[in-house]
Amino acid sequence: MSEQTHEREASPSAPEPPRGPSRREVAETLFRFQSFFGLVAVFLAAIVLSPRGDDGQILFLTSDNLFNIVRAVSEIGIIAVGLTFVILIGGIDLSVGSVLGLAAVGSAVLLVNDDFGVLLAALLVLLIGLIFGVLQGAAVALLGVQAFIVTLAGLNIARGLARMWSGGETVQISYGDGEGQAPMLFSLLGERTFGGVVPIPALIFAVVAVAAILFLRYSAYSRHLYAIGGNEKAARLSGVPVNRVKIVAFALSGFCAALAGIVHAGQLNAGSPNDGLAYELDGIAAVVVGGTSLAGGRGSVVGTIAGALLLGILNNILSLNSVDTDMQLLIKGLVIVAAAALQRLRPTA
Amino acid sequence: MRKTTRSAFAAACAALAVTAAACGTTSENTGQAQPQDPRQSCGGPDGKYTIGMSQANLAEPYRVRMDADIRKAAEQVPQFEDVQFSDAGKDNAKQVSDVESFLTKQVDLLMISPNEAAPLTDVVRKAYNSGTPVVLLDRKVNGDAYTTYIGVDNVDIGRQAGEYFKDVLFPDGGKILEIRGLSGSTPAGERHDGFMQGIEGSKIEIIGQGDGDWERSLGQEKMDALLKAHPDAQAVYSHNDPMAEGAYLAAEAAGRAQQLKFVGIDGLPIEAGGIRSVEQGRLQATFLNPTGGEEAVEAAKKILVDCRPTEKKQTLPTELITKENAGEVYARLNQG
């Protein structure tokens, strides 16, 4: 993962006077990489706190365990990357968990009941996620309804569609060439490559993460995102196509959620209308821990990825130490609050 | 802008292409169970053992009790030093991670009550094939990659409930309502099918049905509507006690609780459970659905301490609970 963020502030880019880094700039840099430092700290803490195996090895550091973490994080990670775009413009997308469920059910039904090929089914499901996002974005941008409300409605609509599409039941995926069986290709999502070590979902997460980082770094779109998040009115006045940018942000979020849904169905060999319940909250948590401001205009995809990994490692080390679920929830809550509180201390507004 | 949208799409397609191209994968999704050698995991009476119990959720009182039963029974086995519990919160993906954590921790035996069969099958097979004995509780996985399954026969429970209606409550026939469990969950289908077998040949008629999803509040909601639609109903057959309680509350609000008879399933021996409801006269009867916690610990002891093979399937007995035996059953299930 690249260490660099490519974050841009909303303020018009005035040329900076040439001088050495001030204390303020050092502090700014520290805060910018907050989630990365947090990730390193949690990683080190996990090593210290890890239980030991029979032969004394640190269980947390076993490659099996580390890849399990990335596998477990991959779905929330993909969702969180998409969410980052929406949150950067000061919006929110509460529908992603339900869209994941819809996509998981859709994948299962198309492959098993409708005998679609893997690529066609995947493209169709991704298109559904994309269109769902576009519609939500359009409602936000063109109708001027608050994103919270639009996507709250979207949460219910996608969940309803998932239930309707599956008849309210889990659709099991079995593999083979026969009728009612999914092509073996789809079962790859549940498998591991490179000598049976690296989970495929982790690879997909990595690809999505890199694509999002490059996209934000090299496209004009990124400047527009930060500009709208910083000051929508000013952005509009300076010629940013605000509505289009907003719609694209929601479209990307829907797309990522659908992709996560495909991964979900492939990993679990089933699509259940209850899949992804409350995943939107885990996704938002990853974005917030990653240092992106819910007010918009500040943050980065790199931060989000660090945030998702941080929460994944936290989950893992708490489980390895058999901390019970109640306490796990409590600790996770405190970490989210701490991350948000640290953001408030950041020097520039 | 159009260009950027297209590049995002291309990136995602690339992600899929990577997946498609990934070769040399190992199969967790497919593959057969390798029969375990029971002696391999057995360390005898001098060993100390860690057991991991992965619970599907702790939202249902039945599952809280299952964990408690396991904890209590394990305390009686000195070799079982450490029994660890995880709660998947009805999330299949979370339960997969829970099991993976147990495997990382190298537990000596895995107990699991899977949230759903298909999504948990692979990880359970992975555990089993890696040599960890697996005790399945209450709900199954697909295939046979597990050491032993412990649970009730839900068709049989349904049949006994049907026979109770036929022989005891309505020998001359009657009109009843059915409150069903979550559609698509196997116990809901089995408890219905068994019930139909039980009332076969009688004049009992199911005049209305509602899906209560195993939840008390939904049982109440469905009953509200059913009572209005079917004023001639004489009794309620509910797939579990909480929904039967909900139905009772709805009938009470409509002033009809005394005219109707309520029968549930589960007979949980806790204060808020079905046995107390029967004792207090809200339910006419319930059928015991033992959690299997004690039996699971017994099986674990057989495997790890006694080095004896277990049966592949252990069917737990059910029992009719009415006002006559409720107190005795409650005391019996809570002793020791």
In A34-50, which positions are buried (b, 16+ CB within 10 angstroms) versus exposed (e)?
Answer: bbbebbeebbeebeeeb
Tell me, rounded to whole angstroms, the distance of Cα A79 from its chain centroid: 3
What residues of chain B lie within 8 A of the CB of A317, using their CB? none
- Among the partner-chain residues B15, B93, B117, the one whose CB lies closest to the CB of A207 is B15
What pLDDT does A4 receive? 43
What residues of chain B lie within 8 A of the CB of A124, using their CB? none
Does residue B239 contact residue B181 with C-beta atoms inside 8 Å? yes
What pLDDT does B21 receive? 45
Does the structure show a pLDDT above 50 at B271?
yes
Listing DSSP states for B137-185 in one string gives: ESS--SSS-SSEEEEE-HHHHHHHHHHHIIIII-TT--EEEEEE--TTS
Average pLDDT over residues B194-207: 96
Residues 6+ apart with CB under 8 A from B221: B212, B246, B250
Does residue B223 contact residue B245 with C-beta atoms inside 8 Å? no
What pLDDT does B59 receive? 83
* Residue from A55, A120, A193 whose CB has the most chain B CBs within 10 Å, to mutate: A193
Name the minimum distance, in Å, from the CA of A293 to any CA of chain B: 23
Average pLDDT over residues B296-307: 95
- Among the partner-chain residues A62, A204, A325, the one whose CB lies closest to the CB of B19 is A204
Q: When comparing pLDDT for B23 and B139, which is higher?
A: B139
Average pLDDT over residues B48-74: 93
Does the structure show a pLDDT above 70 at B14?
no
Question: Would you say residue B183 lies in a domain?
Answer: yes
Same domain (yes/no): B296, B285: no
Listing DSSP states for B58-112 in one string gives: SSSHHHHHHHHHHHHHHHT-TTEEEEEEEE-TT-HHHHHHHHHHHHHTT-SEEEE
Locate A243 and state its tokens. Answer: 């509505």
| Residue A162 main-chain phi, psi, to 5 deg | -60, -40
pLDDT in tens, A70-80: 999 999 999 99
* Residue from A184, A322, A328 whose CB has the most chain B CBs within 10 Å, to mutate: A322
pLDDT in tens, A280-316: 999 999 999 999 988 888 889 999 999 999 999 999 9
Average pLDDT over residues A134-159: 97
- Kindly report the CA angle at A61 between B113 and B55, in degrees rounded to 5? 10
Chain B residue closest in CA terms to A222: B4
Average pLDDT over residues B258-285: 95
What residues of chain A lie within 8 A of the CB of B87, using their CB? 324-325
Q: Please state, as a whole number, how many other Cβ atoms lie within 10 Å of the Cβ of residue A272.
A: 28
Query: Rounded to an integer, what distance in angstroms lies between the CA atom of residue A255 and that of residue A129?
Result: 5
CATH number at residue B241: 3.40.50.2300
Average pLDDT over residues A241-256: 97
Query: Rounded to an integer, what distance in angstroms lies between the CA atom of residue A40 and that of residue A1?
Result: 13
Parallel, antiparallel, or unpaired for β A198-199 and A192-193? antiparallel
Does residue B96 contact residue A43 with C-beta atoms inside 8 Å? no
Distances A158 to A100, A129, A167, B94, B108 between C-alpha atoms, Å: 9, 10, 14, 22, 42
Does the structure show a pLDDT above 90 at B140?
no
- Among the partner-chain residues B4, B9, B14, the one whose CB lies closest to the CB of A207 is B14
| Residue B125 main-chain phi, psi, to 5 deg | -65, -40
B26 pLDDT tier (thresholds 50, 70, 90):
low
Same domain (yes/no): B300, B223: no
Domain residue limits at B233? 154-289+322-333
Nearest to B290 by CA among B257, B265, B272: B265
Question: If 0-12 CB within 10 Å is exposed, 13-18 middle and 19+ buried, where does residue B100 land?
Answer: buried
Size of interface A-B (CB pairs under 8 A): 162
Question: Would you say residue B310 lies in a domain?
Answer: no
ipTM for the complex shown:
0.84
Does the structure show a pLDDT above 60 at A279?
yes
Does the structure show a pLDDT above 80 at B227?
yes
Chain B residue closest in CA terms to A274: B91
Query: Rounded to an integer, what distance in angstroms lies between the CA atom of residue B310 and that of residue B147?
Result: 8
B135 sits in the region (left: phi over 0; alpha: psi -120 to 50; else beta) called: beta
B171 pLDDT tier (thresholds 50, 70, 90):
very high
B184 pLDDT tier (thresholds 50, 70, 90):
low
A348 pLDDT tier (thresholds 50, 70, 90):
low
Query: Hey, is B321 helix, strand or coil?
Result: strand
Average pLDDT over residues A217-235: 92
A18 pLDDT tier (thresholds 50, 70, 90):
low
Average pLDDT over residues A23-39: 80
Does residue B48 contact residue A218 with C-beta atoms inside 8 Å? no
- Among the partner-chain residues B7, B25, B117, the one whose CB lies closest to the CB of A191 is B25
Residues 6+ apart with CB under 8 A from B279: B323, B326, B327, B330
Locate A92 and state its tokens. Answer: 């929110």
What pLDDT does B206 receive? 96
Which segments of A269-300 does DSSP mark as H helices, in order?
279-289
Chain B residue closest in CA terms to A206: B15
Same domain (yes/no): B111, B205: no
Same domain (yes/no): B280, B329: yes
B42 pLDDT tier (thresholds 50, 70, 90):
confident
Does the structure show a pLDDT above 80 at B9?
no
Is the domain defined by A66-344 classed in CATH 1.10.3470? Answer: yes
Considering chain A, what is the average pLDDT of its residues? Answer: 90
Q: What is the 3-state composition of chain A as percent helix, strand, coil, each rounded to the nearest 5?
A: 70, 5, 30
B60 pLDDT tier (thresholds 50, 70, 90):
confident
Average pLDDT over residues A81-89: 96
- Among the partner-chain residues A53, A196, A277, the one whose CB lies closest to the CB of B26 is A196
Does the structure show a pLDDT above 70 at B218?
yes
Does the structure show a pLDDT above 80 at A8?
no
Average pLDDT over residues B3-31: 47
Handedness of CA A72, A76, A79, A81 (dihedral sign): negative
Chain B residue closest in CA terms to A175: B30
Average pLDDT over residues A135-164: 96
Question: Rounded to the nearest 10 degrees, how much is the dihedral formed by the CA atoms of A149, A152, A154, A159?
Answer: -160
A20 pLDDT tier (thresholds 50, 70, 90):
low
pLDDT in tens, A183-208: 999 999 988 888 888 999 999 999 99
Same domain (yes/no): B168, B54: no
Same domain (yes/no): B298, B282: no
Does the structure show a pLDDT above 70 at A166?
yes
Same domain (yes/no): B123, B206: no
Average pLDDT over residues A316-331: 91
Same domain (yes/no): B114, B169: no
Query: Rounded to an integer, what distance in angstroms lies between the CA atom of residue A117 and that of residue A314?
Result: 38
Does the structure show a pLDDT above 50 at B6?
no
Nearest to B106 by CA among B67, B148, B51: B51
Question: If 0-12 CB within 10 Å is exposed, 13-18 middle and 19+ buried, where does residue B43 land?
Answer: middle
Determine contact: A315 vs chain B, CB below 8 A.
yes
Highest mean pLDDT, choosing among A273-277, A319-323, B299-303:
B299-303
Does the structure show a pLDDT above 50 at A349?
no
Determine contact: A119 vs chain B, CB below 8 A.
yes
Tell me which amino acid residue A25 is.
E
Does the structure show a pLDDT above 70 at B31?
no
Question: If 0-12 CB within 10 Å is exposed, 13-18 middle and 19+ buried, where does residue B241 land?
Answer: buried
Query: Hey, is A50 helix, strand or coil?
Result: coil
What pLDDT does B318 receive? 94
The model's pTM is: 0.85
For chain A, percent of residues with pLDDT exceeding 70: 93
Query: Rounded to an integer, what distance in angstroms lies between the CA atom of residue B222 and that of residue B216?
Result: 10
Same domain (yes/no): B131, B161: no
Does the structure show a pLDDT above 50 at B15?
no
What residues of chain B lie within 8 A of the CB of A219, using their CB? 4, 7
Locate B115 and state its tokens. Answer: 């949230």
What pLDDT does B207 receive? 96
Distances B144 to B97, B110, B313 between C-alpha atoms, Å: 21, 15, 11
Q: How many helices (H) and strands (E) does chain A have?
A: 13, 4
What pLDDT does A6 receive? 47
Does the structure show a pLDDT above 70 at B231?
yes
What is the number of domains present in chain B?
2
What pLDDT does A56 receive? 86
For chain B, percent of residues with pLDDT exceeding 70: 88
Query: Rounded to an integer, what distance in angstroms lies between the CA atom of residue B160 and that of residue B318?
Result: 9
Query: Rounded to an integer, what distance in angstroms lies between the CA atom of residue A66 and that of residue A51?
Result: 14
Residues 6+ apart with CB under 8 A from B148: B134, B135, B136, B299, B310, B311, B312, B313, B314
Q: Do A204 and B5 touch (CB under 8 A)?
A: no
B26 sits in the region (left: phi over 0; alpha: psi -120 to 50; else beta) called: beta
